[in-house]
Amino acid sequence: MPLRSALRTLASQLLIVTCLLAGFQLAAEGANFRDADRWYQTYTDGSGLEQGDPTTLRWSIVSDGVGVESSTSNLIGYLDSLYGAGPGGADLTTRPWFATIEDQFNNIAAKTGLSFEYVSDDGSGWNLAAATASRGDIRLAGYDLTAPGQLGLAQLPTQGGDILLDTANSSFANESTLATVFQHELGHALGLLHVSVTGHSVLMNTSNLPPAGPQFDDLYALTRLYGDAYESPAGNDDLATATQLGLLSTTTPIAIGTSSDDQTVARDEVDFASIDGAADVDYYQFDLAAPADLTLAITPQGPSYSYTSEGSAAESIVASELSDLRFEIIDVNSGAPLVSLNLAGIGQSESLAHFTLPTAGSYAVKVAGTQDANQFYRLDLSATESTPPSPYLLFHDRFDGTTAGLNSNLQLTDRQGTGWLDSPYLSSAANDSELTSVEVSDGTLSMTVVQGDESTAAQVAPYRNFAPQLDGERWLLSFDLSLTSSTAPDQAAFQFMIDDQWPIGEPMSDDPEISFRLTADGSYRLVENGGNGGGEAIRTGSVDSDVYHLQFLVDETVFTTRISVAINGTNVLVRETMRISDTEHYFGFDTRLLSGLAEGEWVQSTIDNFSIVQLTDVIAGDYNLDGVVDLGDYTLWRDQLGGRVLAGTSADGNGNGTIDSGDYDVWKANFGQHINQHANSLTASVPEPASLLTMLVVVSLLVGWRVGLCSQSVIERRPPVA
């Protein structure tokens, strides 16, 4: 292909476009590049390269006297005449001007996924298709280009990727002119077309001398084609090739992608990170020397500007809003994702604060984007010393979703969830209950049943899977309940159920393992192996209240499961032997009107503060369940002194159901114990309950020792794989 069909003319003060492209037309694609114009085969990488792949290119300088077009190259002698030949000889790397040429390759390599290697040219003929061990992918030559002011020409990669410089002018005696003109032509040899950016000079300018190095728009194109420098040379598309960020300490945060927030790019700004398209993923590995709380943010980067590409109309770009970013944190040892986050929209930062990584070791961040566009981003990582969160809280349903997570299909062949609390509530409006509703709002779950025109009972029941991970454990399930109705209080009922099967074809309330029914008049009935009035009633009674705090303590660590139940802190069942499955558990709420009521009668139950806490390995004296026995537990004991609770819960250390001096003794004996290390080195004095004044003085002096519960974001969190 004739070289003059390949490209561009650059004047020292005015770039004259003379792109005579034989065989195809420039397409108006709204960018200064086309994916098809990158290098798809090089001597080092071989064939099969694709958009976004890091690429290694070798370059060489053609010997003087080699035929080029209708002339011969004299580039070496020309540059010698301007800068001197140094020691001379065949080794061109000793020439005074060589470093200027080489630096243009290095400038681009430092900011992108491109790598360049100089080789001595073998002197073979011009326009040869493939590189060899002694001939570069990109070859440089020069002669008198004859056109006035024409300083350079270059071929696109698909045309050969070679570069010509004009040797019949004195402009290149200025080293900065030589550098900028050559780098502009190198941009074409890498696949870039001409572009003009409103109010800003870029490397691929068409109307004036370009700046000394690629600017944001140039780098946007180059990283789309070849990836960023973090991907060079082998890519960082999986854990095996992850970019190594080193040790993340509590004193030294890590930030990458810090250079991509402005149109102007200085020579020493080399920190660019990007997702080059929807198929690209970036992995970054970091190490922790000790457990830590991780704070992480992925922020899309880039300025807003207007540009005009070669052959296209003017367009505008908001470079920070090109792809919706998301990320995962991965345990490198197991390869298991610990958390994934994709909450923010396009152009917004995805961030995670104080995520506890419980062990020292290696972790990775996986970054991806949704749209098939190049998106620069900044990744910020910081760590703080980890104060153990409550290690026992398995689940706290904040009821902060919407009813979109509820559905009315009970005909399921598979159980919901995978053993973790990851399944939505499944609701059923049974029998004559046309106006039945289940709503999740304002942190509560509300169930309302309105009697229709039939005599059958109306009910509504949402269900949820929880936890084979509770098998063989001691666990506490608790929630707050309010129950109101328009009818006689004994005709409106709420029922809580625990079962080992997901209900298929019939409501859970027909035959649960454990059923607790409470009517609006305060009467309760605890039933084993049955519901809806059937089964064996193992406890009945009444409570004078409109609002209830219900607690179910299940002990599966013993041969025969035992269960304790309390209402508003009053024990109604203590360590009763009860059959309960050792496979998996489901819970359900059932709100109903009993049969024979008039049309329009209604009942409503509202659930709040639903939680499941695993108590098997709780340290004695850790009354606030934060993983350490400290003054916070003492304060809880002091505030509850004299009260009654469900045996073995709250500040009842000796398990007698009453908060008394015996519970203080348990706390005192274990003061300073930590879930991760026994005999923690706390040196605070242990307060003695000789008088309330003494307690208050000591607590006020030592309040700084208290360790609080760490909050956890509502995000998808998975357990690490051993």
**Looking at the predicted structure, is the pLDDT value of residue 646 above 70?**
yes
* Full set of structural domains in the chain with CATH: 3-219 (3.40.390.10), 236-385 (2.60.120.380), 394-614 (2.60.120.560), 631-705 (no CATH)
Backbone dihedral angles phi then psi of residue 82, each to the nearest 5 degrees: -90, -35
For the stretch 8-40, pLDDT in tens is 222 222 232 233 222 222 222 345 667 678 999
Give one DSSP letter per residue of 577-595, joined into a string. E----SS-EEEEEEEEE-T
Residues 559 and 553: their CA atoms lie apart, in Å, by: 16
Give one DSSP letter per residue of 162-184, joined into a string. -EEEE-S-SGGGSHHHHHHHHHH
Radius of gyration, CA atoms only, the chain: 36
Q: Regarding predicted confidence, which is higher, 348 or 403?
A: 348
How far the first Cα of the chain sits from its last, in Å, is: 60
pTM of the model: 0.57
Spell out where 512-580 has E strands: 514-519, 523-528, 536-542, 547-555, 562-567, 570-577
Angle made by CA atoms 109, 192, 102, in degrees to the nearest 5:
35
Question: Please, which pLDDT band fits residue 596 given cuts at 50, 70 and 90?
Answer: low
Q: Are β-strands 458-466 and 585-593 bridged in parallel, bridged antiparallel, or unpaired?
A: antiparallel
Query: Which segment of 12-21, 516-525, 639-648 scores lowest on mean pLDDT?
Result: 12-21
**Looking at the predicted structure, is the pLDDT value of residue 547 above 90?**
no
Q: In 10 A of CB 719, how many CB atoms?
A: 11
Q: Regarding predicted confidence, which is higher, 215 or 599?
A: 215
Find the mean pLDDT for residues 692-710.
30
Q: Regarding predicted confidence, which is higher, 233 or 327?
A: 327
Contact between residue 197 and residue 216 where contact means Cβ atoms under 8 Å apart: no
Find the mean pLDDT for residues 243-252.
95
Give one DSSP letter per residue of 447-480, joined into a string. EEEE--SSSS-EEEEEEEEE-GGGTT-EEEEEEE
Task: Report the SS3 class of residue 514.
Answer: strand
**Looking at the predicted structure, is the pLDDT value of residue 705 above 80?**
no
Spell out where 62-106 has E strands: 67-68, 71-72
Q: Regarding predicted confidence, which is higher, 209 or 117?
A: 117
Residue 71: partners with Cβ closer than 8 Å, 6 or more residues away:
143, 144
- The pLDDT, as a whole number, for residue 421 is 31
Tell me which residue has tokens 């599966």.
556
Find the mean pLDDT for residues 156-163.
92
CA distances from 76 to 58, 105, 106, 183, 188 (A): 18, 18, 20, 18, 22
Find the mean pLDDT for residues 188-205.
91
Question: Please, which pLDDT band fits residue 300 given cuts at 50, 70 and 90?
Answer: very high
Contact between residue 396 and residue 420 where contact means Cβ atoms under 8 Å apart: no
Backbone dihedral angles phi then psi of residue 485, each to the nearest 5 degrees: -155, 165
Contact between residue 666 and residue 620 where contact means Cβ atoms under 8 Å apart: yes
- The pLDDT, as a whole number, for residue 156 is 92
Q: Are β-strands 325-331 and 336-341 bridged in parallel, bridged antiparallel, or unpaired?
A: antiparallel
- Sheet harboring 138-143: ordered strands across? 114-118, 55-61, 138-143, 163-166, 152-154
* Average pLDDT over all residues of the chain: 77
Give one DSSP letter per residue of 608-651, joined into a string. EEEEEEE-TTPPTT-TT-SSB-SHHHHHHHHHHTT-B-STTSTT
Contact between residue 616 and residue 598 where contact means Cβ atoms under 8 Å apart: no
- The pLDDT, as a whole number, for residue 684 is 44
Q: By percentage, how much of the chain surpasses pLDDT 90?
A: 38
Question: Please, which pLDDT band fits residue 544 given cuts at 50, 70 and 90?
Answer: confident
- The pLDDT, as a whole number, for residue 405 is 38
- The pLDDT, as a whole number, for residue 297 is 94
For the stretch 88-116, pLDDT in tens is 999 999 999 999 999 999 999 999 999 99
Tell me which residue has tokens 């290119």.
57
Residue 416: both structure tokens together: 């919901």
In the chain, DSSP finds a helix count (H) and a strand count (E) of 7, 36
Backbone dihedral angles phi then psi of residue 542, each to the nearest 5 degrees: -145, 155
Contact between residue 129 and residue 122 where contact means Cβ atoms under 8 Å apart: no
Most confident of 41-45, 230-234, 460-464: 41-45
Question: Please, which pLDDT band fits residue 328 given cuts at 50, 70 and 90?
Answer: very high
Residue 379: partners with Cβ closer than 8 Å, 6 or more residues away:
254, 255, 256, 257, 273, 284, 296, 297, 298, 365, 367
Residues 114 and 180: their CA atoms lie apart, in Å, by: 19
- The pLDDT, as a whole number, for residue 696 is 33
Question: What number of residues does the chain have?
Answer: 722
- The pLDDT, as a whole number, for residue 403 is 40
**Looking at the predicted structure, is the pLDDT value of residue 131 above 90?**
no
Find the mean pLDDT for residues 474-487.
85
Question: Please, which pLDDT band fits residue 118 given cuts at 50, 70 and 90?
Answer: very high
Helices (H), 288-384: none
**Looking at the predicted structure, is the pLDDT value of residue 631 above 90?**
no
Instruction: Residue 176: name the closest of 211, 200, 204, 207 by CA.
Output: 211
For the stretch 429-469, pLDDT in tens is 444 444 566 676 666 777 787 777 665 556 665 555 444 44
Question: Please, which pLDDT band fits residue 398 given cuts at 50, 70 and 90?
Answer: low
> Where is 56: in which H helix or E strand?
strand 55-61
